[in-house]
Amino acid sequence: MKREEKRQQKLDAILRHAAKAFMEKGYYKTSLDDIAKMHNVTKPTLYYYIKNKEDILVKCEEVASERINGLLDKVMEKGGTGYAQLYGFIKDYITLLNDDIIRCHVRHRGQRENDAARDASLKMHRGIESRVRAIIARGVEDGSIRRDAHPVINAILLFDALNGITAWYREDGALDMKALTEQILTLVAKGIEA
Protein backbone atom coordinates (compact mmCIF):
# COMPACT_ATOMS: atom_id res chain seq x y z
CA MET A 1 0.00 0.00 0.00
CA LYS A 2 1.33 3.41 -0.92
CA ARG A 3 2.21 5.97 1.72
CA GLU A 4 -0.54 8.37 0.60
CA GLU A 5 -3.15 5.60 0.80
CA LYS A 6 -2.03 4.74 4.35
CA ARG A 7 -2.20 8.41 5.31
CA GLN A 8 -5.71 8.68 3.86
CA GLN A 9 -6.85 5.56 5.73
CA LYS A 10 -5.52 7.00 8.99
CA LEU A 11 -7.21 10.35 8.30
CA ASP A 12 -10.49 8.56 7.53
CA ALA A 13 -10.26 6.69 10.85
CA ILE A 14 -9.54 9.93 12.72
CA LEU A 15 -12.51 11.66 11.09
CA ARG A 16 -14.84 8.74 11.76
CA HIS A 17 -13.89 8.44 15.45
CA ALA A 18 -13.82 12.20 16.01
CA ALA A 19 -17.23 12.58 14.36
CA LYS A 20 -18.63 9.86 16.61
CA ALA A 21 -17.16 11.55 19.70
CA PHE A 22 -18.56 14.93 18.63
CA MET A 23 -21.99 13.34 18.30
CA GLU A 24 -21.79 11.56 21.67
CA LYS A 25 -19.96 14.10 23.85
CA GLY A 26 -20.42 17.27 21.84
CA TYR A 27 -17.94 19.23 19.78
CA TYR A 28 -16.87 21.56 22.59
CA LYS A 29 -16.55 18.78 25.17
CA THR A 30 -14.32 16.66 22.93
CA SER A 31 -10.66 17.64 23.01
CA LEU A 32 -7.86 16.84 20.61
CA ASP A 33 -6.32 14.89 23.50
CA ASP A 34 -9.47 12.70 23.54
CA ILE A 35 -9.17 12.11 19.80
CA ALA A 36 -5.45 11.32 20.06
CA LYS A 37 -6.19 8.78 22.81
CA MET A 38 -8.80 7.08 20.59
CA HIS A 39 -6.04 6.40 18.09
CA ASN A 40 -3.32 5.67 20.59
CA VAL A 41 -1.16 8.48 19.20
CA THR A 42 0.30 11.65 20.62
CA LYS A 43 -1.32 15.00 20.00
CA PRO A 44 1.65 16.13 17.83
CA THR A 45 1.11 13.02 15.66
CA LEU A 46 -2.51 14.05 15.24
CA TYR A 47 -1.34 17.37 13.82
CA TYR A 48 0.24 15.47 10.94
CA TYR A 49 -3.31 14.71 9.77
CA ILE A 50 -5.29 17.75 10.90
CA LYS A 51 -4.60 21.42 11.64
CA ASN A 52 -6.90 21.73 14.65
CA LYS A 53 -10.25 20.53 15.95
CA GLU A 54 -12.21 22.77 13.58
CA ASP A 55 -10.29 21.23 10.67
CA ILE A 56 -11.97 17.92 11.54
CA LEU A 57 -15.36 19.52 10.93
CA VAL A 58 -14.12 21.00 7.65
CA LYS A 59 -12.77 17.63 6.50
CA CYS A 60 -15.98 15.86 7.57
CA GLU A 61 -17.89 18.41 5.54
CA GLU A 62 -15.73 17.74 2.47
CA VAL A 63 -16.52 14.04 2.76
CA ALA A 64 -20.23 14.78 3.30
CA SER A 65 -20.37 17.16 0.33
CA GLU A 66 -18.75 14.60 -1.94
CA ARG A 67 -21.11 11.83 -0.86
CA ILE A 68 -24.33 13.88 -0.91
CA ASN A 69 -23.52 15.51 -4.25
CA GLY A 70 -22.54 12.08 -5.57
CA LEU A 71 -25.95 10.79 -4.52
CA LEU A 72 -27.65 13.70 -6.28
CA ASP A 73 -25.57 13.05 -9.40
CA LYS A 74 -26.64 9.40 -9.33
CA VAL A 75 -30.37 10.06 -9.00
CA MET A 76 -30.32 12.82 -11.61
CA GLU A 77 -28.38 10.67 -14.09
CA LYS A 78 -31.04 7.95 -13.81
CA GLY A 79 -33.53 10.40 -15.25
CA GLY A 80 -37.22 9.76 -14.79
CA THR A 81 -39.75 12.11 -13.31
CA GLY A 82 -38.91 14.71 -10.72
CA TYR A 83 -40.84 12.65 -8.18
CA ALA A 84 -38.84 9.51 -9.00
CA GLN A 85 -35.60 11.44 -8.57
CA LEU A 86 -36.75 12.98 -5.28
CA TYR A 87 -37.91 9.58 -4.00
CA GLY A 88 -34.53 8.05 -4.88
CA PHE A 89 -32.67 10.88 -3.19
CA ILE A 90 -34.72 10.66 0.02
CA LYS A 91 -34.37 6.87 0.19
CA ASP A 92 -30.58 6.91 -0.11
CA TYR A 93 -30.08 10.11 1.91
CA ILE A 94 -31.73 8.46 4.92
CA THR A 95 -29.11 5.71 4.73
CA LEU A 96 -26.31 8.30 4.46
CA LEU A 97 -27.59 9.98 7.62
CA ASN A 98 -26.68 6.88 9.61
CA ASP A 99 -22.97 7.45 8.87
CA ASP A 100 -21.13 9.25 11.71
CA ILE A 101 -19.32 11.64 9.37
CA ILE A 102 -22.56 12.68 7.66
CA ARG A 103 -24.34 12.98 11.02
CA CYS A 104 -21.51 15.16 12.32
CA HIS A 105 -21.71 17.37 9.24
CA VAL A 106 -25.49 17.78 9.58
CA ARG A 107 -25.38 18.56 13.30
CA HIS A 108 -22.44 20.97 13.11
CA ARG A 109 -23.08 22.57 9.72
CA GLY A 110 -22.13 26.24 9.75
CA GLN A 111 -20.77 26.11 13.31
CA ARG A 112 -17.31 27.39 12.59
CA GLU A 113 -15.24 29.93 14.45
CA ASN A 114 -13.47 30.88 11.24
CA ASP A 115 -15.73 33.15 9.16
CA ALA A 116 -14.48 31.82 5.82
CA ALA A 117 -15.02 28.20 6.94
CA ARG A 118 -18.52 29.04 8.21
CA ASP A 119 -19.42 30.79 4.94
CA ALA A 120 -18.06 27.85 2.90
CA SER A 121 -20.09 25.43 5.03
CA LEU A 122 -23.32 27.34 4.49
CA LYS A 123 -22.60 27.81 0.77
CA MET A 124 -22.06 24.07 0.35
CA HIS A 125 -25.36 23.31 2.08
CA ARG A 126 -27.21 25.90 -0.02
CA GLY A 127 -25.77 24.29 -3.15
CA ILE A 128 -27.13 20.89 -2.15
CA GLU A 129 -30.50 22.37 -1.20
CA SER A 130 -30.62 24.22 -4.54
CA ARG A 131 -30.14 20.94 -6.41
CA VAL A 132 -33.04 19.36 -4.49
CA ARG A 133 -35.19 22.42 -5.24
CA ALA A 134 -34.47 21.89 -8.93
CA ILE A 135 -35.62 18.27 -8.67
CA ILE A 136 -38.86 19.38 -6.98
CA ALA A 137 -39.40 22.09 -9.62
CA ARG A 138 -38.84 19.49 -12.35
CA GLY A 139 -41.47 17.28 -10.72
CA VAL A 140 -43.96 20.15 -10.56
CA GLU A 141 -43.31 20.86 -14.26
CA ASP A 142 -43.66 17.24 -15.36
CA GLY A 143 -46.77 16.72 -13.23
CA SER A 144 -45.32 14.04 -10.96
CA ILE A 145 -45.26 16.39 -7.95
CA ARG A 146 -48.27 18.38 -6.78
CA ARG A 147 -48.65 21.74 -8.51
CA ASP A 148 -48.90 23.53 -5.15
CA ALA A 149 -45.57 22.08 -3.93
CA HIS A 150 -43.35 25.16 -3.68
CA PRO A 151 -39.75 24.01 -4.38
CA VAL A 152 -38.08 26.29 -1.82
CA ILE A 153 -40.49 25.56 1.02
CA ASN A 154 -40.56 21.84 0.32
CA ALA A 155 -36.76 21.56 0.09
CA ILE A 156 -36.38 23.37 3.43
CA LEU A 157 -39.04 21.20 5.08
CA LEU A 158 -37.52 18.07 3.57
CA PHE A 159 -34.04 18.78 4.92
CA ASP A 160 -35.38 19.85 8.32
CA ALA A 161 -37.31 16.58 8.58
CA LEU A 162 -34.54 14.34 7.28
CA ASN A 163 -31.64 16.02 9.06
CA GLY A 164 -33.58 15.85 12.31
CA ILE A 165 -33.09 12.08 12.21
CA THR A 166 -29.48 12.62 13.31
CA ALA A 167 -30.73 13.91 16.68
CA TRP A 168 -32.88 10.95 17.65
CA TYR A 169 -32.33 7.84 15.53
CA ARG A 170 -30.26 5.02 17.03
CA GLU A 171 -29.43 1.78 15.25
CA ASP A 172 -30.14 -0.18 18.41
CA GLY A 173 -33.56 1.45 18.84
CA ALA A 174 -37.01 0.02 18.22
CA LEU A 175 -37.03 0.96 14.53
CA ASP A 176 -34.55 -0.55 12.08
CA MET A 177 -33.24 1.41 9.09
CA LYS A 178 -35.59 -0.29 6.62
CA ALA A 179 -38.68 0.49 8.69
CA LEU A 180 -37.50 4.04 9.29
CA THR A 181 -36.96 4.57 5.57
CA GLU A 182 -40.41 3.20 4.72
CA GLN A 183 -42.09 5.45 7.30
CA ILE A 184 -40.31 8.55 6.07
CA LEU A 185 -40.94 7.81 2.40
CA THR A 186 -44.62 7.34 3.17
CA LEU A 187 -44.89 10.60 5.10
CA VAL A 188 -42.55 12.87 3.19
CA ALA A 189 -42.36 11.72 -0.41
CA LYS A 190 -45.92 10.53 -0.76
CA GLY A 191 -47.13 13.84 0.69
CA ILE A 192 -46.05 15.76 -2.40
CA GLU A 193 -46.73 13.14 -5.05
CA ALA A 194 -49.24 14.30 -7.66
Assign residue 81 a region: left if phi > 0, alpha if psi is -120 to 50, beta otherwise? beta
DSSP letters spanning 23-77: HHH-TTT--HHHHHHHTT--HHHHTTT-SSHHHHHHHHHHHHHHHHHHHHHHHHH
Q: What is the pLDDT of residues 64-99, one digit of tens each?
A: 999 999 999 999 999 999 999 999 999 999 999 989
pLDDT for 5 equals: 87
Per-residue confidence in pLDDT tens, the chain, 194 aa:
788 888 888 889 999 989 989 988 888 899 999 999 888 888 888 888 999 988 998 899 999 999 999 999 999 999 999 999 999 999 999 999 989 999 888 887 767 777 887 888 888 889 999 999 999 999 999 999 999 999 999 999 999 989 988 878 777 777 788 888 888 888 877 778 77
Q: What is the pLDDT of residue 188?
A: 78
- Residue 115: C-alpha distances to residues 22, 121, 191 (Å): 21, 10, 38
C-alpha closest to that of 87 among 194, 176, 10, 6: 194
pLDDT at site 120: 84
Q: How many CB atoms lie within 10 A of CB 26?
A: 11
Total-model pTM: 0.87
The pLDDT score that the predictor gives to residue 177 is 84
Residue 94 has a pLDDT of 93
User: Domains in the chain and their CATH numbers?
Assistant: 58-192 (1.10.357.10)
Is the CB of residue 145 less than 8 Å from the CB of residue 82? yes
- pLDDT score for 135: 97
